[in-house]
Amino acid sequence: MQRLLAIAGLTWKAAFRFRLFVVIAVLLLGSVVGLPLLIKDDGTARGCTQILLTYTLSVITVLLGLSTLWLSCGLLARDIEECQIQVVAVKPVARWQIWLGKWLGIMALNAVMLALSGASVYGLLLWRAARLPAEEQKTLRREVLVARGSLKPPTFEREIEAETDRLLEERLKQGASGAVNLREVRREIREQVKARDQLVPPSAIRQWEIHLGLLKSSLRDQPLHLRIKFNAADKSPSGTFIGLWQVGAPRQTQLWRSQPMSLAPDTFHEFEIPPNLFDENGVLTISFANVNNTSLLFPLEDGIEVLYREGGFGLNFARGVGIIFCWMALLAALGLTAASFLSFPVAAFFSLGVLTVALSSGTLANVVSDRTIMGFNAETGVAGHSIADTVIVPAFSGILYVIHLATQTATIPEWFAKLLPAGVRESLSGALPSPARPFSPVDALSTGRSIAWTHLGLAFVQIVLLLGGIIGLIGTSIFNRRELATAQGTQ
């Protein structure tokens, strides 16, 4: 441990020698202080806080990410190029200890920078919030400066899948042509089955039940927020539809009825509902009356959601910064690994290249979902085809999976799940959230959503231990085999 700490100490000294610490600290603090002066917000305290959080945390992530890559590439590569590593390597310290020591040093540096800039952002937000009128402060603390958990009605995934399979089988028995695209037909049937649970026809009332479970006692006397979203079958001249809501079960709980609400489709709306509207079993009943002339569709995934206060903003903010710290750990590992076998400029270029590929995951996702690199013509419904698809699509799929490990909670690939014993498969499925949840601290913090400890834990396991560990193993093993005393290009 002492050896690791000694190498980490040397890393700190090098960072100060390069004046990197001072420059990055000034840039980070400058952006935190300067951005609020430059940014235009939408005129609300909520909007102002959201944009401040988004811009300052994004700038911190970008600045720190780039400096981490640069520092990790530079420290090791330049040590090798300038032969300083030869002095260290002859000491009684293993190569992996040198590598890990540098990583620890960079991460300690990152920890200090993140703590400094994070504390500045947090302090700035609280300072600005304290200067607002009491009513706005209340709104802010209710909707943004808070950690809110969420509950949704059951999505009946299993029942929908079973019903879809039954209907598909029925249609096949009825003699559907074998030439049809079965995957597409199944998707269509699935959507039809789902629509039954999502659709609210004109003049109809739909009811949802949300089970609060163990939370029912902690949510007593707490106002909740309803977050809703719907799609409309038709357009309305005003661009909005009328929504009438009732929360509570008749003759069992108190009832709350909304005034007619003017609601736009395809967008999220949030409104507060009074406390204690759930029954003794912790079931919250929500009803919607469609008084419009067109059908409205509430998506099963995010159509109805109840938000509740799970904790304070401070700890949530710290957890969000924790996820950013995990990303820095991965970048440090990537930079050190690149510098283990490449010169500084090439290592920096290589690391930035990898980062660019990771950031363009949208393009990769399109190729994987279209199953071709030739693109999909939405008008004709025809996908292109290339012989290269057989190699590129699985390769992209693999790269995308690795990128997703760093950006969202893991899912078990189907092919891998089949190889696992049933017990292991079930326990893994139980441990991982479904569907996958993104690691997006900036989004979560700016919308007042809770970043759970388990979420941060998963981020640490996936990003630092798994991805960082694998990259680190590759890096240390290359560094271990590298001939450090050969003539260097810069000599």
Partner 1 sequence: MNSRLKKFLLVALAAALLSGVAQVQNRMNRDREALGLTRVQPLENAPPVLAFTTVALGGFRGLISNLLWMRATELQDEDKFFEIVQLADWITKLEPHYTQVWSFEAWNMGWNISVKFKSYADRWRWLRRAIELLRDEALRYNPDDILLYRELAWIFQDKMGKNTDDASLYYKRQWAEEMQQIFQKKTPDFDELIHPRTDAAEARARLLREKFKLDPAFMKEVDERYGPLEWRLPEAHAIYWAALGTQIAKDNPTRVNQNDLITLRRVIYQSMLLSFQRGRLELSPLGFEFGPNLDIIPNVNDAYEQNFAEDDIYKGDIQKAHRNFLRQAVYFLYANDRLAEAAKWFRYLGEKYPDKRILDDDPNSLPGNLTLDQYAVTRVQEDVLDTSRDRMKAAIEGLLSNSYRSLIQDEDERAAGYKNLARKVYESYKSHTPQGRAEAMGLEPFEVIDKSVLNRLLDPDRGIPPEIRALLRTKLRLPAEPAPGKSEAAPAPAGTAK
457-476 core/surface letters (b: 16 or more CB in 10 A; e: else): ebbbbbbbebbbeebbeebb
Burial class (CB in 10 A: 0-12, 13-18, 19+), 120: middle
Which residue carries 């750990």 as its tokens?
329
Instruction: Figure out which of the listed residues 2, 43, 381, 491 binds partner 1, where binding follows CB under 8 A.
Output: 43
φ, ψ at 362 (rounded to 5°):
-60, -45
205 touches partner 1 by CB under 8 A: no
Nearer to partner 1 by C-beta: 150 or 276? 150
50 binds partner 1 (CB under 8 A): yes
In contact, 216 and 278? CB cutoff 8 Å: yes
Cα torsion 481, 485, 488, 490: sign = positive
Answer yes or no whether residue 244 interacts with partner 1 by CB under 8 A: yes
Select from 51, 66, 273, 417 the one that contacts partner 1 (CB under 8 A): 51
In the list 133, 178, 239, 430, the residue contacting partner 1 (rule: CB under 8 A) is 239
Residue carrying the six token digits 């292109």:
384
CB of 39 to partner 1, least distance (A): 6
SS3 239: coil
Give the binding range for partner 1 (CB under 8 A) out of 46-54, 103-111, 166-174, 213-221: 46-54
Q: Is there binding between residue 363 and partner 1 (CB under 8 A)? A: no
Query: Considering the complex, what minimum distance in angstroms separates the CB of residue 43 from partner 1?
Result: 5
**136 makes contact with partner 1 (CB under 8 A):** no
Question: Which residue among 11, 20, 24, 46 contacts partner 1 (CB under 8 A)?
Answer: 46
Q: In the complex with partner 1, which residue's Cβ is closer, 60 or 263? A: 263
Binding-site member from 23, 39, 180, 315 for partner 1 (CB under 8 A): 39
Which one of 85-93, 107-115, 258-266, 465-473 is the stretch in contact with partner 1 (CB under 8 A)?
258-266
Judged by CB under 8 A, the number of residues near partner 1 is: 29
Nearer to partner 1, 32 or 463 (CB): 32
The CA distance from 429 to 58, in Å, is: 32
- In 3-state terms, what secondary structure has residue 57? helix
Give the list of residues 6+ apart from residue 105 with CB closer than 8 angstroms, or none: 7, 8, 9, 10, 11, 12, 15, 75
CA distance linking residue 156 with residue 394, whole number of Å = 31
Alpha-carbon distance of 483 to 304, in angstroms, equals 61
Q: Measured from the CB of residue 296, what is the shortest distance to partner 1 in angstroms?
A: 13
Residues 429-488 contacting partner 1, CB under 8 A: 446
Q: Does 312 participate in binding partner 1 (rule CB under 8 A)?
A: no
Pick 370 or 443: Cβ nearer partner 1: 443
259 backbone dihedrals φ, ψ, rounded to 5°: -70, 160
For residue 259, count other CB atoms closer than 10 A to its CB: 8
Candidate list 42, 135, 221, 379; residue touching partner 1; CB under 8 A: 42
Q: Which of 86, 222, 254, 262 binds partner 1 (CB under 8 A)?
A: 262
Secondary structure class of 257 (helix, strand, coil): strand
Q: Which residues are near partner 1 by CB under 8 A?
A: 39-44, 46-48, 50-51, 54, 237-240, 242, 244, 260-264, 267-269, 271, 291, 446
